Amino acid sequence: MRCEWSSCKKEFFYTIEDFTQHLHRHRDEVRDNFVVPGVCQWPGCRSRKSRVTFQTEADFDQHLKLHMKSHWCHVAGCKHGEGFARQHDLTRHLKTHLKGRAFNCPDSSCASSALGFSRKDKLDAHIKSRHPHLMHITQSRRCDVHGCTIKKPFDSIEDLQAHFATAHEHHRPHHCPVEECTRYNNGFTTRGKLVEHVKAEHDPPNCTFNHCDFRSLGNVMVEHIQRVHQGNWECNLSGCQGSKSKFQYDRFQTRLINHHDIGSLGFAYLHAAIKGDESLFPNGNVVTCKYCSKQRAQSDQSEVSGDQTA
């Protein structure tokens, strides 16, 4: 074992104990020369490249532990040759000594699929470089909580769920309303992600109000109705009369723009839409409501199917 300090390159250590004792002398030297706030002067320290400044001696002492590399592999024949800064790094290294290669490439046509990988991070790196179209498999095992320090994907969905339960129990307030779902107790960090989950997994019903394509279940639908359909704005342009929506002003304006291709024509045109006065629109032309046209087409198709069945 050799020391990474340039002043010690000729020295060789035959035991872990001697090498560790030698590193302690370097640690004490660096610690004695440290002034708050300051940077780490250990040779090759990555914190300097990142321009990290330590604000307290306690923080710096904690950082110095990484340079001690006190976690060693004791597997006979291991050629690693040096310790590891963290227990996690040692645990990950020990997986390389396992006879089995439990992590297989999900692409069955890949040559590595049969060989497998001894560590999950090796498989993830392989997928990223060789099969980027399969990255969603890796991404689905990442923690998506804002500010979480765990950046790498977990080995399994079960490990990710256990992480959520212990580390982010109070940071996932948006729960799936379906009791049988695995996300009933393990919710989502944002309402938008919950809506996406419900649409993808549970085929939720459409909103009961017209001119609205929103789909969801439980409290999410209730919140949607309270937020969007508690107004008095209705469209009375061609094809929309009697199609009640009860929009708030901003939502009404958005639907008018999208469904009639009106664009941002101004407040006067909103009132014209409420009154059904199409004469105010350019050339008197108003695009027939796309939503209502679609609903009528689906209704006509259902009637035709019913007649054929009868």
Most confident of 82-86, 249-253, 288-292: 82-86
Q: pLDDT at residue 261 above 60?
A: yes
* 145 vs 284 pLDDT, higher one: 145
Cβ distance 189 to 144 under 8 Å? yes
> Which residues 6+ apart lie within 8 Å of 53 measured at CB?
37, 38, 39
pLDDT tops 60 at residue 304: no
Residue 47 near residue 39 (C-beta atoms within 8 A):
yes
Which of 2-11, 124-133, 269-278 has the least mean pLDDT? 269-278
Please list the alpha-helical segments (H only) found in the chain.
16-32, 46-49, 57-68, 87-94, 112-115, 120-130, 135-139, 157-167, 191-202, 218-228, 249-260, 267-275, 290-309
Per-residue pLDDT, averaged over 224-235, amounts to 82
Is residue 211 within 8 Å of residue 255, measured between CB atoms?
yes
Question: What's the average model confidence in pLDDT over 243-255?
Answer: 74
Rounded to whole angstroms, what are the CA distances from 147 to 86, 89, 150, 155? Answer: 21, 22, 9, 20
Tell me if the pTM is above 0.75: no
Cβ atoms 98, 118 nearer than 8 A = yes
What's the pLDDT score for residue 273?
74
pLDDT (0 to 100) of residue 300: 63
pLDDT digits (tens, 9 = 90+) for 174-189: 888 888 887 887 778 7
Predicted confidence (pLDDT) at residue 158 exceeds the cutoff of 80: no
Residue-level pLDDT at 283 = 62
Task: Give the domain ranges of the chain.
Answer: 1-97, 98-139, 207-310
What are the residues whose beta carbons fall under 8 Å from the beta carbon of 151, sequence distance 6 or more?
A: 142
Task: Give one DSSP letter per residue of 247-265, joined into a string.
Answer: B-HHHHHHHHHHHH---S-
Tokens, residue 294: 């679609």
pLDDT number for residue 2: 78
Residue 102 has pLDDT above 60, yes or no: yes
Mean per-residue pLDDT, 71-94: 80
Find, among 29, 122, 141, 16, the residue nearest to 72 by Cα.
16
pLDDT of residue 265: 55
Between CA 127 and CA 115 the distance in angstroms is: 14
Separation of first and last alpha carbons in the chain: 87
> What does the pLDDT read at residue 296?
66
Q: How far apart are CA 189 and CA 145, in angstroms?
A: 6
| Measured distance CA(196)–CA(67) in Å, rounded | 45
Task: Dig out the tokens for 267 from the structure.
Answer: 């407040």
229 has a pLDDT exceeding 80: yes
Distance CA 228, CA 212 (A): 9
pLDDT given for residue 119 in this prediction: 75
pLDDT of res. 301: 67
For 5-60, write each residue's pLDDT tens digit: 888 876 777 888 888 888 888 889 988 888 888 899 888 888 888 788 888 888 88
Average pLDDT for 112-122? 71
Q: What is the mean pLDDT of residues 89-98?
A: 76
- Mean pLDDT (the chain) is 76
Is the bond preceding residue 106 a cis peptide, omega within 30 degrees? no
Stretch 225-238: mean pLDDT: 80
What is the Cβ-side half-sphere exposure of residue 249, based on CA atoms within 13 angstroms? 5
Lowest mean pLDDT among 167-171, 220-224, 241-245, 263-267: 263-267
Both tokens of 78, joined, read 């291991």
pLDDT > 90: percent of the chain: 0
Q: Which two tokens stand for residue 4?
A: 């990474």
Q: Residue 191 and residue 183: Cα distance in Å, rounded?
A: 13
